[in-house]
Amino acid sequence: MKVRLSHSDLERIGRNQAAALETWGATLAGHMPAPWRHQVLSDWKSRRAADERDGNTWLRHLVEEMQEGCAVGLGLDASDEDIREAGKQLAARAFQVAEDLHIKTLPALRERLASLCEQNGVQAPECRIKDKGAVRRMTTAAWWVRKLRAAHGQRIEAAAISLGYVHKRGQRYASDVGVKRRREQKARNAASLAATIAVNQDGQEFTLAELAEKSNANPRVRRAELMTRIRGFEMVADSLGHVAEFLTMTAPSRFHAIKVDGLRNPKYDGTKPADTQKQLVKRWARARAAMARDEIRLYGFRICEPHHDGCPHWHMLAFLPADKVERVREIVRHYFLETWDGHEAGAAENRVKFEAIDKARGGAVAYVSKYISKNIDGMTVNGDLLGDGQVEVAERVETWATTWRIRQFQQLGGAPVGVWRELRRLKVEDGLSDTVEQGRIMADVGRNSDYGQSAPGWAGYVALQGGPLVSRADLAMRVERTEAGEKMDPTTGECVEAVNCYEEPCAPNVWGVRDAEAGRVFLSRRFKWEVRRGSGNSGQVQGGAPVVVRGGDGSRVSELGSDGVRAGASGNRGGGLRGSGFAPARAPRTRVNNCTRSKQDGSDETGSSGRGSGRDEGGTGIRRYADAQKGHGGGGIRGAGRGDSGGACGNSGDL
């Protein structure tokens, strides 16, 4: 017997199916950030009108693509609170893995935890990090939160580019969602800095916000310093008879998601801005090597900024001898055009551009000032070519650079700025050598003024260091650092062992300026700071219950707190996992070596006993230098160690 449905029954069923389909679509779109949902649903309905099956398939695949690689339970619409909670949960899961009795060694545990990172779209610690440090990172909630925040921000921007939202007729340089996230992050950071107090040995107290305002973290300071160095380089070039060249390098069309007219680019291959930047860096490395083979050396600055669709491109201000210009152009054209999709339409006209700096138009500073300001704080820029206001331009560009981890400014050649900054810390009463005193004077020229007054100081500093083409081995002055795992206490002159929050040796720390010819080092970091954290640190991840790490026989050997450090860190610690390198960390202590050894113990300042044998020839010991700071004599320190990077570790150090 056939059942006939009335017209009203069919309408009711149709309405129910339509409502169910709408609910299904709204549920899928609910995984998107709120500002995108309306547009996604609108596109879905348009596609459904043409072909319902294809429209539904498009929406399902779109959501699956956007969710791919996201942490479990963490959608693109996740808030920062959701990210912090996910970080805690993943750290707890890592603790559970660490308790697995079947995992007998740290390398095996590291491999298991690395797979957990991969499953949640987070890059595991690099291979250069030892197993113990890698495990501590992957069992730390704060580490997970940092990684998840970075990965989540990049996924949002990648999704916005894929959906075609980032372009000059929509959301320029970065998505509105990304800009909003960056504002919230900066607000959290500002609250944390304002609530954190730094106290030095003289009892002076400052919030970290006050100290940051005086450093290169302040956009105004950073912009002024860059302009000073550029103008200083131009003055050096004028004195040497060198010319200035302005170069622009752009990636091929397949790296651009949106064309200039705002339409989608069918050639786009899905490459993200960070990967495009890596390609540009690789190309420049090859070009630089070719120049070195031809004995061509240049100096200046490289500026990286986004196209309207977020694809990076480079501007470069280079100073070089006039007879080398044509060869440099040939090399750059070869690596950035001829061997990189140079056959495509419009490549010869748009991909690589060269322009000789015309002093009648204001010189090098006039050419790059708008790029510097646009990429920092927007000051002196009356909008960009796309019509955006100065503040909006800078905010969007800064969001773009921060999200994709792209370095916006890089000095090419010339004397290192690190020494110049340390020279500004020195005082005339420090008993400086002639070279260092001249460097201090140059560094102080026009201090606290605009770049026009301070640029001669940078030019003089570059000349004092050996000129703009000097090699690092021939510098007259260098930054002096401690050895890895040490910090120099400026109040006592002693080297103290220091570890980071993962109980690894702290990175080398800057503490002075070395006069290479005189073989003397002068203390530039004279304050010892203790950081006291207040209650206003929003977004901080607190510790949780410790997890037991067991040996191969199942016996308990140590505990890890949720911060990745064993519980009971301030007391006696148990033995490590035998043979795995998970040994108890030593408590910080003062190291006595040939730099601190006094003559009372039977050895002189240049004695051969101890780890630092032969490191202090021709100079005075740290203890004697500490006494000299009190007015008992002069002298510097020789050879307190080398390193390629510095930074403060723990809760006290030099700022």
pLDDT at 542: 45
Cα dihedral sign, 77-79-82-86? positive
Residue 360 has what pLDDT?
80
What pLDDT is stored for residue 64 in this prediction?
82
Nearest Cα neighbor of 168 from 399, 408, 384, 353 is: 384
Residues in the chain: 655
The candidate with the shortest Cα–Cα distance to 487, out of 255, 302, 650, 321, is 650
**Residue in 403, 411, 456, 428 with CA at minimum distance from that of residue 228:** 456
**Residue 367 falls in the annotated catalytic set:** yes
- Categorise residue 458: left if φ over 0, alpha if ψ from -120 to 50, beta otherwise: alpha
Query: From the candidates 173, 268, 299, 371, which is the catalytic residue?
Result: 371
What are the φ/ψ torsions at residue 166 (nearest 5 degrees)?
Answer: -95, 105
pLDDT at site 551: 37
pLDDT of residue 620: 37
- Check residue 261 and give its pLDDT: 87
621, 637 contact by CB (below 8 A):
yes
Q: Which pLDDT does position 546 carry in this prediction?
A: 39
Successive 10-residue mean pLDDT values, the chain, 655 residues: 57 70 83 86 88 87 78 83 94 89 85 93 93 94 95 93 92 94 94 94 92 90 91 95 96 95 92 97 97 96 96 96 96 96 91 91 83 77 52 89 96 95 87 93 78 84 95 95 91 87 92 93 91 64 41 40 37 35 39 37 36 36 39 35 34 32
Q: How many CB atoms lie within 10 A of CB 286?
A: 14
Instruction: Determine which one of 165, 299, 367, 502 is catalytic.
Output: 367
In the annotation, is 461 catalytic? no
- pLDDT tens-digit readout, 335-394: 999 999 999 998 999 999 999 998 887 788 888 888 888 888 766 555 554 455 556 888
Residue 299 sits at φ, ψ, to 5 deg, of -145, 155
The pLDDT assigned to 31 comes to 79
Share in percent of the chain as helix, strand, coil (round to 5): 45, 15, 40
